[in-house]
Amino acid sequence: MLRFILRRTLQIIPTLLVVVLIIFVIFSVVPGSFISSLMSEGRNATNADVMAHLNQQFGLDKPLLVRLGDYLWGLAQFDLGISYRTREPVWNVIEPRLWPSIKLALAAMFFAAIIGIPLGFIAALKPGSMIDSGTMMLAISGLSLPEFWFGLLLMYVFALQLGWLPSFGYQADSIRHIILPAIALGVSPMALLARTTRAGVLDVMNADFVRTARAKGLSEPRLVRGHVARNVLVLVLTTLGLQVGSLMGQAIVIEKLFSWPGIGSLLVDSVAARDIPVVQGAVIVIVLWFLVINMLVDVAYAAIDPRIKVT
């Protein structure tokens, strides 16, 4: 098990290299730089000397390859560089955003799982029934709703009209603040989970070993609990893992909408300002989150399914 985790950790390195490379290439071809974005903020007085000075100060006058090399060298020492905007180390910019982001992703996933998985189960146990078609219609709507619109709707109903919950903002120890953004973010993974669970249950219910369980004279509840649920969980776990992993990146719109101080909104602001070190740092954090979650999913597989051995 330890060897597996170690190996997977090492595998993160090449993935990160590719990610950094892609970011570097993208920002070298898109028009505009941090300096030009400064000018767009109305500081037209910037003259050529100042620009050259700034360029030199940020190392932007060096060739792309040299900058890439410098960055990777820093990364190897866990140094994400210095933010252009705040002149702080990038880690100091990212760190306070990390926990809110993780919290939002986990809360959204929690919501998605406790609603989506039971819905899928209920739908599958009575295929073709009203409950089934109703649930699946709900699921398709959930998948196709634009999340910012759904977020606005939640805000309008629960914050403005009913006044039950705060409409936006973040407070470190407030559960009330996280409910609306978590639901808005979780509705699409919820729909996806409901569909995956339904398909999984139908699949497993047709398996030979379920017929065996019936031949053994088990009651339906015992059959579902003892023979179906775990087998479905193996199938659902994949979707669950991929969703939790990508939720941090997907949260950009929701974070903006609810003024949630997460990695996503930091990423948007930094792209607008061409604060490339922060962009890189944020992307690396999102990628790392994804990889770590997937590693955990693989470990969980091994715990549930005796046929899978992690070595």
Partner 1 sequence: MSKTVPASILSVRDLRIGIGNQSDLLHGVSFDILPGETYGLVGESGSGKSITGLSVLGLLKRPLQVTGGSILFREQDVLKLNKRERRRLRGDRMAMVFQEPMTALNPLATVGRQIAEMFVVHRGLSWAQARLKAVEALETVHVPAPDERARSYPHQLSGGMRQRVMIAIALACRPDLLIADEPTTALDVTVQAEVLKLIAELCQREGTAVLLVSHDLGVIANMCRRVGVMDRGRLVEEQDTRALFETPLHPYTRGLLAARPRLGSRTISERGRLTELDELVADTQRGRDAPTLVTPRGMLAEAGR
CB 136 within 8 A of CB 144: no
Q: Which of 7, 53, 126, 222 binds partner 1 (CB under 8 A)?
A: 222
Amino acid at 253: V
Comparing CB distances to partner 1, the nearer of 39 and 229 is: 229
Cα angle for residues 217, 220, 223 (degrees, 5° grid): 75
Q: Which of 59, 69, 169, 226 binds partner 1 (CB under 8 A)?
A: 226
Q: Which of 53, 176, 211, 225 binds partner 1 (CB under 8 A)?
A: 211
**Site for partner 1 contains 143 (CB under 8 A):** no
Using the contact rule CB under 8 A, the part of the chain among 42-50, 241-249, 250-258, 299-307 near partner 1 is: 299-307
Report the nearest approach of partner 1 to the CB of residue 219 (Å): 7
Q: Which of 7, 126, 176, 230 binds partner 1 (CB under 8 A)?
A: 230
Q: Which of 43, 65, 306, 311 binds partner 1 (CB under 8 A)?
A: 306
Q: Which residues contact 192 (CB under 8 A, 6 or more apart)?
A: 112, 116, 139, 143, 239, 243
Angstrom distance (rounded) from CA 264 to CA 186: 15
Comparing CB distances to partner 1, the nearer of 43 and 307 is: 307
Using the contact rule CB under 8 A, the part of the chain among 15-23, 46-54, 226-234, 259-267 near partner 1 is: 226-234
Q: Which of 41, 49, 173, 208 binds partner 1 (CB under 8 A)?
A: 208
Q: Which of 212, 225, 259, 303 binds partner 1 (CB under 8 A)?
A: 212
**Site for partner 1 contains 207 (CB under 8 A):** yes
Report the nearest approach of partner 1 to the CB of residue 216 (Å): 4
Comparing CB distances to partner 1, the nearer of 159 and 213 is: 213
Looking only at residues 234 through 263 of this chain, which bind partner 1 when binding is defined by CB under 8 A? 234
**Site for partner 1 contains 310 (CB under 8 A):** no
Relative orientation angle of helices 263-272 and 229-250, to the nearest 10 degrees = 30
Angstrom distance (rounded) from CA 2 to CA 195: 34
Q: Which of 209, 225, 259, 303 binds partner 1 (CB under 8 A)?
A: 209
How many chain residues are in contact with partner 1, going by CB under 8 A?
Answer: 22
CB 214 within 8 A of CB 67: no
Amino acid at 217: G
Give the CA distances from residue 287 to residues 103, 198, 272, in Å, rounded to whole numbers and listed in that order: 17, 29, 20
Q: Which of 162, 217, 221, 311 binds partner 1 (CB under 8 A)?
A: 217
**Site for partner 1 contains 110 (CB under 8 A):** no
Q: Which of 65, 172, 215, 311 binds partner 1 (CB under 8 A)?
A: 215
Note every long-range contact of 120-124, with CB atoms under 8 Å and residues 24 or more positions apart, other chains counting: 120/193, 120/194, 120/195, 120/196, 120/197, 120/198, 120/199, 120/200, 120/201, 120/236, 121/197, 121/198, 121/201, 121/224, 121/232, 123/194, 123/198, 124/197, 124/198, 124/199, 124/200, 124/201, 124/202, 124/205
How many CB atoms within 10 Å of residue 237?
A: 18
Angstrom distance (rounded) from CA 189 to CA 195: 10
**Site for partner 1 contains 221 (CB under 8 A):** no
**Site for partner 1 contains 213 (CB under 8 A):** yes
Angstrom distance (rounded) from CA 74 to CA 223: 56
Residues forming contacts to partner 1 in the complex (CB under 8 A) are 207-209, 211-219, 222, 226-227, 230-231, 234, 304-307
